[in-house]
Structure 1
Amino acid sequence: MQYIKKIFITIIAVFVTVSTVTSNVVITNALDDVNEYAIMREKFHDMAVGGDYDINDPVVQPMLKSINDTAQMYWDNMNKNPVSNAKNGSYMNEDDSALDPNLDPSKDYIFPEYPLGKRRSGSSSYINANSIQFTYQYIRAMALAYETKGCALYQNKDMLEDIKMALEFMNKYHYNQDFKQGDKTVPYGNWFSWRLGAPVYLGETLLLLYDDLDKEVIDKYAATMEEFVNWTSFTGANSTWNERVSMYTGLLTEKESYMSHIQSVMPTVLKYTEPGDGSFPDGYYEDGTFIQHTTFPYNGGYGLMCLTDTAYLLYMLSGTKWDLGEASANIVYDWVIDSYEPMVYNGLSMDAFRGREITRSDTTQPRGALIIANAMLMLSENAPENIQEQFKGCIKQWFSNDFMIEQMNASADTPWYKFPLDTVVKVNSILNNDSITPISFDGTTYQMNNGARTIHWSKEGWAYTIAMSSPTIKTYEGGDSNNKGWYIGNGATYLYTNDLERTEGVEKATKDWYRIPGATSVYGRNQGTQYNLNPFAGGVTDGVYGVSGMDLSMTTHDLKAKKSWFMFDDEVVALGSNISGQYDVETTLENYKIDSENRTYYVDGNKQTMTMDGTEIAYDNAKTFHMSGNVEDSDIGFYFPNNLDINVKSETRSGTWSSLGEYNRDTNTYSADYFTAWMDHSENGNGANDSSYSYVLLPGKSVDETTEYATNSDIEIIRQDDKAHAVYEKSL
């Protein structure tokens, strides 16, 4: 690596110089005298800018363009002459009840989507604090382009001056050590932005520009980080974020207390968490679950950050006196194997594990997988050979499709994604290495019962995920995003096939959130986040096949249902019984974002044409239903063992990202076409009483294969009542 070469060249030069001056001097501790902070700063910089690569290599050019285009966009939109009239960072009047009319906030911003200063009262100022974090995030992106060879903005002095202006403006008016915390509360709004988000991006900016900023300037900005770094107790991902801030503060101030703090705290993170008395503390569990905020499965959200920051700390500290050791690395290898390898399907980090991040426009399923891959690559730097082979085999499987390559090459603006160019270089090296064999998990079922989640990988190459809720796991998390995730924990199911794009793009901004596949819901009426009143939620597996069930009981709308899923070789049998509730109770079969050429479906083998005008069409006593996927091998068939009345609708839907929460600043309206099928358990909207359903999901089967399956079905429903659900698969 470049930084290692520089260190050894320096040591050799010193040795030669000294030995020519006097033969009486013996060099015994040359390495001990090396500034380990400088080594680590160089180590960070080397990986951040992609290491040693050929700027003309077509493999890296798309990412160089992504890094450059991101920075150029931010620079073009930048306010070069910001003005702050805030008093101690606030535009509120003295009693914090309203904006002070004497203070003009109109020019107080660096980037227009993130107005600075407190502009709301009380807890609603949450979003104002976020603007500090996101402003530093954009500045960091500009610094990355400035430091990355091959970018058109590489070493652009005009941009550097604007970066310096922005850093000074932020320090003078909105983020400095004079914003006293007192009893460790933050000045206003979201504590995360003050203590973790802003110092992460500020720290990385200072490390990137370390040779371009005066030391007194770095010291001044680092003093702000010292003010806000918090050594009180954090849990889960917040703990590793905090240690990342501690490391950056240590590298900038060269104060050992920040580095030794990492050594003292990380052992409390690097272990499996045990369930409490009726609760689940934050952290990783041995069944593969990661919990954050004690009630939400978050492998692909907060857990993602816990993984990548832990891998990052292990990598950065390796070989230094603050090395976290082999035992620490071993448990992180287990986290990857148990909690992440099963939940990435051909490059998609499954939505059922991403919490509120599913509705953040900049944190998609592919980008989640990129961050996981980045963590695995960092771990592979020092991992045993067998672990390296496994990690690289998974990465090869995930990125062996054009969609993921496109996503990777355009991912420079992904939040928290540390080393996009380094990832591109290493992923392409893996793809071009014929000795690395792709690893898939076909024919495996995982039951992550601590998080009320199931993952089934069929032998046919598709995957299926179930999201449930329980007295310890809530239905969904909202906040600044995901404010329409009402029914996710009511049995939402996620089918993964070759159609990798159907749940990406503008799908989250435009979908009908009342009709989530698999979920039993009340159409048109919200359900706040809540626990399932019944403890029956989870499943069992023999390793290949699986059974999951949930006794759903929600306070809202008095909604109840007994739901089960039987996952076999080429089918999933879904049963529901004892369904009751107020208003329009439904269970959704499918809610599919379709392309412009996908306009037909089949009921009982008869071809139907989509109207695309939103008309609801009812089919009574149906035996089969089939819809075409957007790509090859993505068709979906349904067989109804007891015949079902179903409803379908095809339409163009429109929506905005900002409607999903204030995290998203994009207010543009987007549109997409959908085909939806569901079962109505109510009569004229007057509620449901002891309703039921049974269907067999047949992913990848053509309309003829679906009809043939219905004629000679492999399954037999043994029992479906208030006591038990049982299914017999006759061909296994």
Structure 2
Amino acid sequence: MKAADRADNLRVKGPSRRLFLQFSGLAVLLTACAPRSGVGAEELTALGRRWREVTLGAGLFDPAREPYRARLARLGAAARLHREAMTPTGRSLWPDLPFPSLGATPARLRAMARAYALPGTGLTAEPGLGSAVATGIEHYVRHVYAADAGQTGNWWDWQIGAPRALLDAAVLAGPHLTGGQNAALCEAVDNFVPPDRLDDYAGNSTGANRVDLCTVTLLRAIAGADPGRAALAVSALSPVFRYVTEGDGFYRDGSFIQHGSVPYQGGYGAVALTGLATLAAVLRGTRWEIADPAFHNVLDAVDRSFAPFVHDGACLDLVRGRGVARRPYGDHARGREIAAAILLLAETAPAADRARWRGMVKGWAARDTAKPMLRAAEGDQAFHARLAAVLRDETTPEAPEPSGHRLFPRSARAVHRRPGWCAALSMASSRVAHYEHGNGENPRGWHTGAGMLYWWGRGHGDQYSDSFWSTVDPYRLPGTTVSTVRLPDGAGGAWGDTRPQADWVGGVTDGAYAAVGQHLYGLESTLEAFKSWFFLDDAVVCLGAGITSRDGVPVETVVDNRRTGAVDSLTVDAAAGWAHLDGHGGYVLPPGQPLRTLRETRTAGGASRSYATIWLDHGVDPDAAGYVYHLMPGANLAATRARAADPGWARVLANTSGRQGIAVPSLGITAACFWAGGRAGDLAASDPCAVLVRDLGDGTATVTVADPRCVLDGLTVTWDHPVAGIVDGHPILASARTGARLTLVFGRPADQAGASHTVTVRLA
């Protein structure tokens, strides 16, 4: 069934005249909460109405139609119960939520305010509910969130979580807050989020946190009738728009970092995108409309930073930090959050961006069969209505999954897509943490930065979603090379404080193929290794060398660890050099490597899941061990056998601690990770770098280079192949010599932040 048909079957239609009248009546009540007279009062009143429209989806859906009617009725019923159970005392507002209850109590008040502000709840604009919200806010401000209270525990609760929920509730139920109640709330917010909190873009006032603090400041401006505070909220956003070269924020290569060293598009990044989309929509057409030209970087981030990490509606776990361990299907929830932010941002974006993004989200929704997006979006009426409209729109085609490679040098991440499969790689470096844990979350994610190679085939959209993180063996994550020394929970330090000393982490890509490498240092281990991945059309060729450890325990390279079904059979022919996991894919290994396998069911947190594990045992305290294997996502048994029977398909040119490289003649590819200057087949480099050569088959070839360490003043690359001339150079190409061999001299690769640079040549 097509996505448009699914939406039509839900009978989600445009808003009716009755709905218009409902919202019009509510608007009258909200106008009654206009900020007290003064400069900008009417504008701030309009801003409050716009906040309600954008955040609640006012006018986007008909509350009398399903699925909205049932959801709104449930919200109203819950709000009625909250109002009836409210019992203000010095210790709580509700008996089941003892103070300080910084998260739950403000959230409950906001839910009541939403029931007041939304049509169809049965309590819409009901004075008794509005008064209860006002009473609850007053009580909570007096006993917990007071102007003279001291901040304890997590700063986020006091400066972002609690004030945002309280202010949101106050704006939605505004007609029922007295001047004194409003003033007390604003005074309390000023205690924890004073204007000078936004003076410095540093510490915990960066990236997503800065967007949240600005949102709190804008809501404070609306509630307190303060035009100057609104202007401050908007101006303080500007540092978020600008690309950074270190620390938190957006990078030119598409990376997004929070907590200094954690790739976080699927956590803080999604929060930032949601906040920015909301603010852009709320402020549009007002005197506070975002006018900073650098805001265009946020629009670019949709395609550069977020879309590469969403596969069939799910946000890939390698950019979700400690959030991977929170709950099953959290990757799909984050994917929906990103999709919702993109659809909202599209409303204020240029037409070309709007059309492209709507098609992209429509494709995600159509392909997310693990957690159908439209059904899962029913809890967010605004997003559901926007998504349903896109799915109904026959003029918006579903965008397919793109094909190609995206490399993110600054965040040590790579994503490779081909028809029918997607693979993603997470590494650690001197700039990027092995993993993040904190607040008791993800204490055993130790080895996710040790070269974890995720992959998804057709029908496997929930491979890492369905209780994977709670049940998988944390010492055997797919793709990793690890010392099996036992680690304590939270080993290495919290909040991403687990960066190894490795500088050579990254690689090179021409947009279609890639050679990616990691100089690996084990977490709290003596392990050292050199790992390379060559991303191709139907395979990832994986090389390891220089694997050395003195921990006194075995060292393993995990070829794969798949969550499987009971009927997924694992077949191994070690003599012929292959293994195949039915319904998943194939693995090709040179005969003689110590291949080990295990089928097991693992149980944790009330969930039991079956796994098929394939690994290479390097023994106790290996000295310069190595490996070679091919991962073939989605390959059937015949294709796996055929690849194993063709050892020349991918020739290993070098596999040492100095160089790792391959040649794939059928693809015209020669590629190498040079850990040190030297030679790998027909390629030579003067210094550590990554090189990818591709014969395009039309008389031309491309030579792409990168400096993953970002330290080289100059680089010379030689390709022993006859070349007639340069077709297209590059700004950092200082000189070139053609003839019997090609010699390219590049100037200052260090200034390119690890980016790949391509030179096109005409073959002789």
TM-score, with structure 2 as normaliser: 0.75
Residues 409 and 147 from structure 1, CA distance in 2 versus in 1: closer, same or farther, beyond 3 angstroms? farther
**Secondary structure of 2:271's aligned partner:** helix
- C-alpha distance in 2 between matches for 1:322 and 1:176: 29
Contact 2:277 2:341 in 1 (8 A): yes
> Counterpart of 1:676 in structure 2: which amino acid?
T
**Counterpart check, 1:223 vs 2:193:** no
Equivalent residue number for residue 113 of structure 2: 143
Distance 1:191 1:247 in 2: 19
Residue 628 in 1 paired to residue 582 in 2?
yes
The aligned counterpart of 1:687 is 621
- Amino acid across the alignment from 2:607: Y
**Pick aligned residue for 2:405 from 432, 436, 445:** 445
Residue 261 (structure 1) shift: 0.6
Task: Give ranges in structure 1 of 5+ residues lacking alignment.
Answer: 11-31, 86-107, 118-130, 181-186, 414-419, 605-619, 630-634, 657-668
Structure 1 counterpart of 2:644, one-letter code = A
Q: Distance in 1 between matches of 2:263 and 2:633?
A: 26
What corresponds to 1:267 in structure 2? 238
For the pair 1:195 / 2:159, whether they are aligned, the reply is yes
Cα shift at 1:478:
1.1
Q: Secondary structure at the match of 2:444?
A: coil
TM superposition shift of 1:594: 2.8
User: Which of residues 320, 330, 338 in structure 2 aligns to 1:372?
Assistant: 338
Q: What is the aligned partner in structure 2 of residue 235 from structure 1? A: 206
Aligned mates of 2:304, 2:239 — CA distance in 1: 19
**Are 1:672 and 2:609 counterparts?**
yes
The corresponding residue for 2:424 is: 465
Letter of the 1:467 counterpart = S
Q: CA RMSD in A?
A: 3.2
Residue 562 of structure 2 corresponds to residue 562 of structure 1: no
Distance 1:462 1:243 in 2: 40
**Corresponding position: 1:172 with 2:142:** yes
Distance in 2 (alpha carbons) for counterparts of 1:603 and 1:721: 27
Q: Which amino acid aligns with 1:283?
A: G
User: What pairs up with 1:87-486 in 2 under 5 angstroms?
Assistant: 110=94, 116-117=99-100, 131-151=101-121, 166-180=136-150, 187-230=151-194, 231-232=196-197, 233=200, 234-273=205-244, 275=245, 280-325=246-291, 327-361=293-327, 364-401=330-367, 403=369, 406-410=372-376, 420-458=380-418, 460-480=419-439, 481-486=441-446
Q: Secondary structure at the match of 1:644?
A: coil
Q: Distance in 1 between matches of 2:485 and 2:129?
A: 50
Shift in Å at residue 161 of structure 1? 7.2
Separation in structure 1 between the aligned mates of residue 44 and residue 174 of structure 2, nearest angstrom: 12
Displacement of 1:56 in angstroms is 4.3
Give, in whole Å, the separation in 2 of the partners of 1:412 and 1:434.
22
> Mean Cα displacement is larger for which, 548-557 or 433-442?
433-442
Given the alignment, which residue of 39, 44, 50 partners 1:37?
Answer: 44
Residues 77 and 323 from structure 1, CA distance in 2 versus in 1: closer, same or farther, beyond 3 angstroms? closer
SS of alignment partner, residue 549 of structure 1: strand
**Structure 2 Cα separation of the partners of residues 362 and 76 of structure 1:** 29
**Letter in structure 1 aligned against 2:635:** K
Residues 712 and 161 of structure 1, relative CA distance in 2, 3 Å threshold: farther
Deviation at residue 432 of structure 1 after TM alignment = 1.7
Q: Kindly, what percent of the aligned residue pairs are identical?
A: 27
For the Cα contact (< 8 Å) 1:60–1:424, is it kept in 2? no
Moved more, 708-717 or 550-559: 708-717
Residue type of the partner of 2:475?
Y
Residue 703 of structure 1 corresponds to which residue in structure 2? 637
Segment of structure 1 superposing worse, 230-239 or 313-322 = 230-239
Distance across 2 between alignment mates of 1:434 and 1:642: 53
Q: Quote the Cα distance in structure 2 between the aligned partners of 1:159 and 1:270.
A: 40
Task: Tell me the CA shift for residue 373 of structure 1.
Answer: 1.8
Moved more, 192-201 or 53-62: 53-62
User: Alpha carbons of 1:652 and 1:84: their partners in 2 closer, same or farther (altered >3 Å)?
Assistant: farther
**1:16-55, Cα deviation, whole Å (9 max, x unpaired):** xxxxxxxxxxxxxxxx987111112111212333222223
Three-state SS of the structure 2 residue aligned to 1:558 is coil
Match of 2:563 in 1: 593
Letter in 2 for 1:600: S
Aligned to 2:625, what secondary structure does the other structure show?
A: strand
Equivalent in the alignment of 1:637: 586
> Could you tell me whether the CA contact under 8 Å between 1:443 and 1:545 is conserved in 2?
no
Query: 1:352-377 CA deviation, whole Å, 9 max, x = no partner?
Result: 11111112228811221222222222
Aligned amino acid, residue 706 of structure 1: T
Q: Deviations over 1:462-507 (max 9, x none)?
A: 1111111111212111111221111111111111233112222322
Please state how far the C-alpha of 1:404 moved relative to its aligned partner.
Answer: 6.5
- Report the Cα distance in structure 1 between the residues aligned to 2:304 and 2:472, rounded to whole angstroms: 31
3-state SS of paired residue (2:305): helix
Q: SS of the counterpart of 2:356?
A: helix
Among 449, 452, 477, the alignment partner of 1:516 is 477
Within 1, Cα distance between the matches of 2:426 and 2:84?
A: 42
Once residues 160 and 47 of structure 1 are traced to their aligned partners in structure 2, the CA distance between those partners, rounded to angstroms, is 20
Instruction: Report the CA distance shift for 1:474/1:671 in structure 2 as closer, same or farther (over 3 A).
Output: same
Question: In 2, Cα distance between the equivalents of 1:485 and 1:65?
Answer: 41
- 1:194-242, CA deviations, whole angstroms, 9 ceiling, x for partnerless residues? 1111111222222222234444333332332222114332211111111
TM-score computed with the length of structure 1 as normaliser: 0.78
Structure with higher strand content? 2
Whole-angstrom distance in 2 between the partners of 1:506 and 1:115: 32
> Following the alignment from structure 2 to structure 1, what is the Cα–Cα distance between the partners of residues 665 and 153?
59
Q: Distance in 1 between matches of 2:83 and 2:41?
A: 42
The range that moved more, 377-386 or 436-445, is 436-445
CA distance in 2, matches of 1:135, 1:169: 11
Deviations 1:403-448 (A, max 9, x none): 36645534577xxxxxx21111111111121221222453211111
Shift of 1:250: 0.6
Deviation at 1:162, TM superposition (A): 6.5
> What are the superposed Cα offsets for residues 378-427 of structure 1, whole Å, 9 maximum, x if unpaired?
222222111111111111111113536645534577xxxxxx21111111
